[in-house]
Structures are given as structure tokens and as C-alpha cells.
Structure 1
């Protein structure tokens, strides 16, 4: 069983800690436990409850009415809501509930419904990718445990692989070599980049997680890609990211290298001339549109 502070509940639900305390006192909404040293904490059931409460409250339900519901009634109301058209933030919130409850069927239903309504790319851009970014930060800060992240990452990974397999390069696009550095295992962003690149008619050589430097060089020499791309989420760490960028640039001086990820965004790094920082996933989409436009002009 995981334990949470009231600040963790605030981060996960978006409800201010001050408001949670008021609801706790006025409606007996939460029942915090205490450690042997008298420190208050909350458990998984409290977190599930407050996530459901937050979604209903955000959609106009009065807290007094919510507090009068039992758990079964609360869950039915939430399911009704997520079956309707909600804002992107509401859908992200619904997926957060699925993650905490590890409800694979519900997660798949929410995701599939959005894909039907918005299409795969827009669902990834506006719902899944922001959701994955959110849980990545929550995992880094300890607000959720690694099991939650692995559960969701594997479900999203399955969807991405199916979508990527449905894309066929037309033979006229550019060649991209995609990889993750040694020690890096978080590949959702790289998989989505692969989908975007292939959807624009380009070819992808995908090496995936934890690519040894010698393997990267071997594949590079064989395929001579137009572009390389990597994502640095945890490895190398931010204090070693600058050295890694210079090393990468020196080893592949004739190829433009696209880079993004938690350890490089917002760290004021010196970008070598052939390394381009992508701050957001939309930057990748815009970059692909640019090179396609150049190719059409030629």
C-alpha cells in the first residue's frame, strides 16, 4: 500500500490542500491515518476517492452532494461523465483515476473513445502525451510509485506500436535514426516521435531503449541517416547532459541531431551547431512539416 501526504493529493487531484482540509472537517470526506510519530498520511483508497471527487466537482457537482454518495454511486457518476465528451483536462483526470486503480479495461475504453473522436495523433498530442508528462513528474517527486508508471506506460506503448505498424513510408522521405542513450528506458516519447515521423512519409530506423554507443555507431555507418533523434528522461542526468551533447555532436558531425527530454529542457545548455533542442512534442511535428515543405519546394 502506498502512502500520500496532503501535498501529494493536491498534486494528483489539482485540489488545494487548504480546500481538502476544509472538506475533511466539514463533510468528513477523508479520514487521514497517523504514523507512530503522529504524522498524518493518506492511503490508496483516500487517493482514489479524492480523484473521483475532483472530477465530479470540476464538472459542476456540488461538494455537499458528492459527500453524500457512497463509493459505488460515486464511481457510477464518474463513469457516466467519462463516457460523455469532456475537456482534455477532464480526460487526463479520468486516465489518472484509471492509473491509480490500475483499471486496464477502463483505461482502454477512455483511450479508444478519444481516438475515435479525435484521431490517434490528436489524442496523443492533447491527452496522452500531457498525461504521460504529468505522471512522469509525479513519479519523479514520489507522488506515485513506479508500478503505476509501468502499468500505464506498457498500455500506451502497446497502442503506439500498433499505430506505428499502420504507417508505411513512401520511399521519398528523409531517413531518421531513433535511439535512447545507454541507461535510458523511458521510450514513450521516442515511440510517438517514430509514429509522427512515419506518418509524414519518412523512414525510421528504430533502436529503442538503452542503445550502446558502439551499436549506435555501427547502425549509423550502415544507414547514413539524414537525422538522428533521442530523448533524455533520466539518463544521462542533467549534470552530465552537456558533456553527452558535445560527445554526440562530435561523433556524428554531419548529421542533425534532434534532442528532447526532462534532463535537457529548461537547463540552459549550450547546443552544438548540429544539435537542435525540441522543447515540446509539437516542436517535432512542426519540424517535420518544415522539412516536408522544403522537400516539396525542391
Structure 2
């Protein structure tokens, strides 16, 4: 079971910590454990309850009414809402609960319903990406366990692969050639897969080299394929002090290709970009470049 601080609950649900403390005292809606120094900690059931309460409040339920509901009644009300109303925050809440419960059936229902309603790209941009961002902080602080994080990211990865496989195999002769890879030691593949989908959707050709590619193998592949553009996501590797030298090395090794980079280690950082290199700050920027 994962453990959450009251700040974790605030970040995930949007309900202020001060409000949660009042509800805890007035309605006993949460049952935190307390340390010897009286610091609250919460479990998975507490987090699910807060997420459900947040969703019901957003739909006009009063906290005094919600407090009277059993856990089963609370869940049933949330299911009714999430099935009849499709808005992004509600679906992000529902995805979080499916992750905590390791519920593949619930995940499939949420994602498939949203893809049918909004389309694959909009579902990824407005629901999946904010959801991944929301759990990212909790993952870094150890509040979400590896099993839960691996479970949900692998399901998202499967959806992306199926979507890519469903694209037309024919590419117009005027489409650009892209080469996609992650640096050696980098395994966060979701953004790279989504970039693959976006680029292919816009009538470009993609060679996908995937995770943790040694630099000499990138050089070898580039010499064979001769891409117009190289795209990579730098999230955790290389480390901070090694990012600028790595960017410079890419630019020098491939002067005839445009190098597109995104990820935590380059976006919003003081990276000096050589003439053939560009930082992709948002997914919409990649859409424009690939169009």
C-alpha cells in the first residue's frame, strides 16, 4: 500500500489541505495514521475517497450529503457521473482510481470512451498527459508504488502501439524522414511513442529506435537512413551537467539533420541550442513542425 501526505492529497484532488483537515474533524471522512510527532499519513483508500469526493463536489453535491454515503455508494455515484459526463478533470480522476485499484477493465472503459468521443490525440493531450504529470510528482516522492506506475504506463504504452499500428503504412513521397530514439539509459518511452504517432499521422516517415540507444548505434543508423529530422526526449538521462555537452555532440555529429529535443532536462532549462537544434516546448509545437 502507498502512503500519502496531506499535500499529496491536495495536489491530486485539488482540495486544499486546510479543507481536508476541517472535513476530517467535522465529518470523519478520512482516517489518517499519525506519527509520534502527530504528522498525518494516508493510504490508497483515503486517496480514492478524496478523489471521489472532489468529483462529486464539482457536480453539485454538498459535503454534508457526501459524508453520509458509504464507500460503495460513493463509488456508485462517481461511476454514474463519469459515464454520463465526459469532461477532462473527471476522466483524470477516474484514471487515477483505476491505477490505484490496478483495474484494467476500468482503464479500458475510460480510455476507449474518451477516444470515441474526443479522438486519440485529444485524449492523449487533455487526459493522459495531465494524468501522467499528476502522478509524476507522487512517483518521485515514493507515494505511488512501482507496481501501480508500471501497470498504468504499460497500458498506455499498449494503446499507443495499437494506434501507431493502425496508421496507414503508405507515406507520400514529399513526407519528411524522422529518426526517433531515447539516449542510452533513458527508458521513459511514452512521449517518444506519442511523437511517433503524431509524426506518422502527418504523412511523414519514421524510423523508431526506441529506448536506451548507445550513441555509436545512433551514428550507424543515421548513416544508413539519412533522416531529415532527429527527435529525442531527455527526461532523466543524461544528468543535468551532461545535457549541454550531449546536445552539442548531437548537433556536431549530424549537421545535415534538424535535431528536435524535448523532455524535463531541456524544456525550460538554460540550454544553448546550436543552429540545427530546436527545443520542442509543447506537444502542439511538434504538431506544427510535423505538419
TM-score, structure 2 length as denominator?
Answer: 0.95
Which residue number corresponds to residue 190 of structure 1?
A: 192
Which stretch of structure 1 is more off in the superposition, 219-228 or 27-36?
A: 27-36
Counterpart mapping for 1:43-192 below 5 A: 43-168=43-168, 169-172=170-173, 173-192=175-194
Could you tell me how far 1:267 is from its partner in structure 2? 1.1
| Separation of aligned partners in 2, 1:231 and 1:30 | 40
Could you tell me how far 1:268 is from its partner in structure 2? 2.0
SS in 1 for 2:209: strand
Which residue number corresponds to residue 295 of structure 1?
A: none
Which residue number corresponds to residue 234 of structure 2?
A: 232
Could you tell me how far 1:214 is from its partner in structure 2? 1.3
Which residue number corresponds to residue 8 of structure 2?
A: 8
* Contact in 2 for aligned 1:12/1:143 (Cα 8 Å): no
Counterpart mapping for 1:16-27 below 5 A: 16-27=16-27
Could you tell me how far 1:171 is from its partner in structure 2? 3.7
Which stretch of structure 1 is more off in the superposition, 92-101 or 183-192?
A: 92-101
Structure 2 gap segments, 5+ residues each: none
| Separation of aligned partners in 1, 2:268 and 2:141 | 18
Which stretch of structure 1 is more off in the superposition, 202-211 or 264-273?
A: 264-273
| Separation of aligned partners in 2, 1:124 and 1:267 | 25
| Separation of aligned partners in 1, 2:238 and 2:278 | 17
Could you tell me how far 1:165 is from its partner in structure 2? 0.6
| Separation of aligned partners in 2, 1:188 and 1:214 | 24
Aligned Cα RMSD in Å?
Answer: 1.4
SS in 2 for 1:220: helix
Which stretch of structure 1 is more off in the superposition, 150-159 or 123-132?
A: 123-132
Could you tell me how far 1:161 is from its partner in structure 2? 0.4
| Separation of aligned partners in 2, 1:188 and 1:78 | 28
Of 273, 285, 288, the residue aligned with 2:287 is 285
Of 190, 212, 217, the residue aligned with 1:215 is 217
* Contact in 2 for aligned 1:4/1:43 (Cα 8 Å): yes
Structure 1 gap segments, 5+ residues each: 290-298
Which residue number corresponds to residue 35 of structure 1?
A: 35
* Contact in 2 for aligned 1:238/1:267 (Cα 8 Å): no
Of 249, 253, 266, the residue aligned with 1:264 is 266
TM-score, structure 1 length as denominator?
Answer: 0.93
How many residue pairs get aligned? The number is 289
Could you tell me how far 1:35 is from its partner in structure 2? 2.9
| Separation of aligned partners in 2, 1:230 and 1:261 | 8
1:76-101 deviation line (CA, Å, top 9, x unaligned): 11111111223212211211121122
